[in-house]
Amino acid sequence: MQKLAAGNWKMNGSGAALQELLALVEAHPAPACEMLICPPATLIASAAGMTARGPLKIGGQDCHAKASGAHTGDISAAMLKDAGATYVILGHSERRTDHGETSDQVKAKAEAALAAGLTAVVCIGETEGQRDAGTTLSVCGAQLHGSLPQGASAANTVVAYEPVWAIGTGRTPTIAQIAEVHAFLRAELVKALGEDGQGVRILYGGSVKPSNAAEIFAVPHVDGALVGGASLKASDFGAIVAAL
Ligand code: PEP
């Protein structure tokens, strides 16, 4: 299985930031893993144009569940694809919190992504309160089964385990906690998809940085990372790519 280093720029970056992509590709012309950056939608076409012949893939951060229509301000999966994206992040905790997205909605969006030929990166993860209450596995299991698109396979779907309390906080779960959740998710993926579930990449996300990447990537069933803050600088993201 080819591992995946995915960067989520969130609502950061202007045209000038695209220089970071060029620096990344220049420093890692033939990475051992797949490299993906998901810039804001305004930059997808230029980013994809700049990196078209390189090893860097470009993705969106969200899409609408419908293919087209009267949905002001929204973007369809086909539009992302048309702009040059090959992946889309769905159900990020900031979307679930800021926009009240439910797993049902995430599933519908992921199905739209697959229909458009994009690979869906489906995000799940517990809040700090849920971890303290001992419900991490049941919360993650419910989000996983509720958000997985019909037709999900190792070829078209990636799962990102992102504890909400670890995103952008500099805090990470212990290695044992990451191992427990990833092993659980692998078993749940096999339950849902059969043997193909063995091949679905499960990313860890939440305060991954150059200094902790290698230790996290050594955990069984950690097949890459979804990286927020550290993806904004080519040198930091490149160090994470090199650790995979
Ligand atoms: C994220 O937003 O998906 C994320 C993991 O952010 P950070 O790496 O900054 O914690």
The string of pLDDT tens digits covering residues 108-159 is 999 999 999 999 999 999 999 999 999 999 999 999 999 999 999 999 999 9
Which segments within 181-221 are labelled E, that is strand? 201-205
Mean pLDDT value across the chain: 97
CA of 221 to the centre of ligand 1 (A): 19
Counting the structural domains of the chain, the total is 1
Q: Which positions are annotated as active-site residues?
A: 92, 162
Furthest C-alpha separation in the chain: 48
Q: What is the pLDDT of residue 4?
A: 98
Q: What is the pLDDT of residue 163?
A: 98
Examine the predicted complex and report whether its ipTM is higher than 0.95.
yes
Percentage of the chain lying above the pLDDT 70 cut: 100
Candidate of 208, 212, 222, 236 to mutate for ligand 1, largest count of ligand atoms within 8 Å of Cβ: 208
Average pLDDT over residues 186-192: 98
Tell me: the pLDDT tens digits for 64-121? 999 999 999 999 999 999 999 999 999 999 999 999 999 999 999 999 999 999 999 9
Q: What is the pLDDT of residue 52?
A: 78
Q: What are phi and psi of 108, to 5 degrees?
A: -65, -40
Per-residue buried b or exposed e for 205-238, using 16+ beta carbons within 10 Å of the residue's own CB:
bbbbbbebbeebbebebbbbbbbbbbbbbbebbb
Percentage of the chain lying above the pLDDT 90 cut: 98
Does 141 show up as a binding residue in the annotation? no
**Closest atom of ligand 1 relative to the 160 alpha carbon:** 3
CA of 181 to the centre of ligand 1 (A): 17
Candidate of 226, 232, 240 to mutate for ligand 1, largest count of ligand atoms within 8 Å of Cβ: 226
Q: Which residue has the CA at smallest separation from atom 3 of ligand 1?
A: 228
Range of the domain at 27: 4-243
Cβ of 163 below 6 Å from ligand 1 = no
Q: Which residue has the CA at smallest separation from atom 7 of ligand 1?
A: 228
In three-state secondary structure terms, 85 is: coil
Cβ of 205 below 6 Å from ligand 1 = yes
Cβ of 229 below 6 Å from ligand 1 = yes
Give yes or no for residue 62 having a pLDDT over 90.
yes
Cβ of 208 below 6 Å from ligand 1 = yes
pTM of the model: 0.97
Q: Which residue has the CA at smallest separation from atom 2 of ligand 1?
A: 228
Give yes or no for residue 53 having a pLDDT over 80.
no
Write out the two tokens for 75. Answer: 């973007």
Antiparallel, parallel or unpaired: β 4-8 and 34-38: parallel
- The enclosing domain of 93 has a CATH number of 3.20.20.70
Average pLDDT over residues 38-51: 96
Q: What is the pLDDT of residue 51?
A: 85
